[in-house]
């Protein structure tokens, strides 16, 4: 958990709508597994509550630094809620995954809420193990790929 934000980061891409009701998922843009997850989340997000930004972007570095996190730590995923408000809040690792899933309708939302019953320390241990092996298991892009249109319309930074 982080303290409320005090300074605004550089605004996201003007083509993408963003208000405090949207949550921003910061992910490793070169990780194949992470990009696949973003695509799945985007397809499941029929309520249009998620926006995405790669950790490699200036936007991610500025926003996460406000909360004491280093976007260069590619072994973490972050979910930010309340962007630009005094209630701005960041969760990371296993809590970011379960919170993201919980925002979605249908089965994915139910699974996310069920996973929130797992103790955070145990969930984070599993998350950290997967984070360490994800490149070996799923691969890594040489650079952040340009996502498909259904994701691109929700992408806040493509740097």
pLDDT digits (tens, 9 = 90+) for 19-62: 788 999 999 999 999 999 999 999 999 999 999 999 999 999 99
pLDDT digits (tens, 9 = 90+) for 77-92: 999 999 989 999 999 9
Domain ranges of the chain: 23-136
pLDDT at 3 over 80: no
pLDDT band, very low/low/confident/very high, at 145 (cuts 50, 70, 90): confident
pLDDT at 135 over 90: yes
Distance CA 24, CA 155 (A): 9
Using DSSP bridges, classify how beta strands 23-27 and 50-54 pair: parallel, antiparallel or unpaired.
parallel
CA atoms within 13 A on the CB side of 14: 0
Give yes or no for a contact between 2 and 67, defined as CB atoms under 8 angstroms apart: yes
How high is the pLDDT of residue 8?
44
pLDDT at 122 over 50: yes
Q: Which residue has the tokens 């994800």?
A: 134
Exposed e or buried b for every residue in 46-85, given b needs 16+ CB within 10 A?
eeeebbbbbbbbebbbebbebbebebeebebbbbbbbbee
Distances in whole angstroms, Cα of residue 121 to Cα of each of 22, 93, 104, 124, 127: 27, 10, 24, 5, 10
Closest by alpha carbon to 74, among 100, 97, 49, 92? 92
How high is the pLDDT of residue 158?
55
């Amino acid at each position: 958990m982080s303290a409320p934000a005090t300074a605004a980061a550089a605004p996201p891409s003007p083509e993408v709508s963003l208000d405090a009701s949207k949550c921003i998922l910061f992910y490793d843009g070169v990780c194949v597994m992470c990009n696949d997850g973003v695509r799945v989340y985007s397809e499941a997000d029929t309520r249009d509550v998620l926006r995405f930004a790669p950790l490699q972007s200036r936007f991610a570095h500025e926003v996460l630094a406000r909360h004491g996190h280093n976007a260069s730590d590619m072994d973490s995923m972050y979910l930010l809620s309340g962007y630009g408000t005094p209630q701005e809040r960041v969760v990371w690792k296993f809590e970011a995954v379960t919170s993201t899933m919980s925002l979605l309708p249908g089965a994915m939302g139910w699974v996310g809420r069920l996973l929130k019953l797992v103790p955070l320390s145990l969930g984070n241990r599993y998350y950290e193990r997967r984070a360490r092996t994800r490149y070996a298991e799923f691969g890594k892009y040489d650079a952040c790929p340009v996502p498909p249109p259904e994701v691109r319309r929700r992408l806040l930074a493509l740097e």
